[in-house]
Amino acid sequence: MANNFLNKFIRFIGWLLFSVSLLLFIVGISIINDEEPLGTGFIITVALFAVFGFFLTRYKKVKKAENTETPKKITAEKSKQKQDEIQGEINAKERPPEKEIIETQPFENTAENDSFTENLIYHIEYVDYQGKSSNRDIQINSFSEENGELYLNAFCYLKNEMRQFRVDRIESIAIKDGDPIDYPQQFLWNKYKNTDLYKLQMALNDHADEILTLIFIARADGKLLKNEREVICRYIDILIQGIDVDLVEKMLQKTNCELSNFNGILKRAKTWNSDVKELVLNAASQIVKLQKKPDPMQLATFDKLKAVIG
């Protein structure tokens, strides 16, 4: 408040001095024109006072600019400091490994095997995505496979919560209080190959076009109903007898087929053998007939398929 009053007072003096000096300067010019002997020195002195007065009128503006710039600078520094603190807290927390989403298959391989019932506790040495190593006791709950990478979904006793571990980052593994297991990553892959999830993935890899065709027809009306999933489950059961139905259900709910993929499948469908064509058409027909009034989009898609392989 005091600084503001001082600024106003100095500016007032400046304007007063400038105005009086300007008036005297005009008078001095008149004196010089009349060739009075004191006119020249007088006008120079007045001109200096006018310049000084004008400088004082600018005083407040200079101080204001400086006063408004400093808080902005301080605010920016505090904001950057706060951002650095938040980023430091994030980096301090261990996160699951970053996964780059790249479609290597025309469907999503993200189903989990919930039938894994082994209750053993394993001790592992794990290196996270930042290269930080840690030792943990875990109990494996399930496996999952995404973009060709195998993951353990396990309860971590170190963090006391469920965590996801990428298998290729597990440096060593042993049954708790036991000797280390040779080739830990191969050991875990062999366990994975004995699960229903692995069997389902192999079936999807071998029969992706047929399964995606049925999914595309079922979703043509914008949704995938339970009875439609049951038809597709029965088709998959023909490929893998005794497969876990709940596992297939989860896979179907996560899987989509785009129009561009479907059109590509139709071109390849011409090469299917007669048995596959018959099974797919039969399953597709069941899906279309599930509703009392068949959906026009489903009918159109089924007719397109029938025209190619019927």
Digit-by-digit pLDDT tens for the chain (310 residues) are: 555 666 677 767 766 766 776 666 666 666 555 555 555 666 667 666 666 666 666 655 444 444 444 454 445 555 556 555 555 554 444 444 433 222 333 334 444 444 455 688 999 999 998 999 999 999 998 888 888 889 999 999 999 999 999 999 999 999 988 899 999 999 999 888 888 778 777 777 788 899 999 999 999 999 999 999 999 999 988 887 777 788 888 888 888 899 999 999 999 999 999 999 999 999 999 999 998 888 999 999 999 999 998 7
Question: Residue 238's pLDDT is what?
Answer: 86
Alpha carbon distance 304, 310 (integer Å) = 9
Question: Residue 94's pLDDT is what?
Answer: 43
Spans of all domains in the chain: 2-90, 122-192, 197-309
- Second-level CATH architecture of 122-192: Roll (2.30)
Question: Residue 2's pLDDT is what?
Answer: 53
Alpha carbon distance 196, 116 (integer Å) = 9
144, containing H or E segment: strand 133-146
Question: Residue 285's pLDDT is what?
Answer: 94
Q: Give 197-309's CATH code, choosing from 1.25.40, 1.10.3680, 1.20.58, 1.10.357.
A: 1.10.3680
Pairing assessment for the beta strands 122-127 and 170-175 based on DSSP bridges: antiparallel
Alpha carbon distance 118, 113 (integer Å) = 12
Helical segments of 93-220, H only = 184-193, 196-218
Residue 8: both structure tokens together: 């106003």
CA neighbor of 56 nearest in space, from 104, 7, 112, 99: 7
Pairing assessment for the beta strands 133-146 and 161-166 based on DSSP bridges: unpaired
Alpha carbon distance 166, 183 (integer Å) = 15
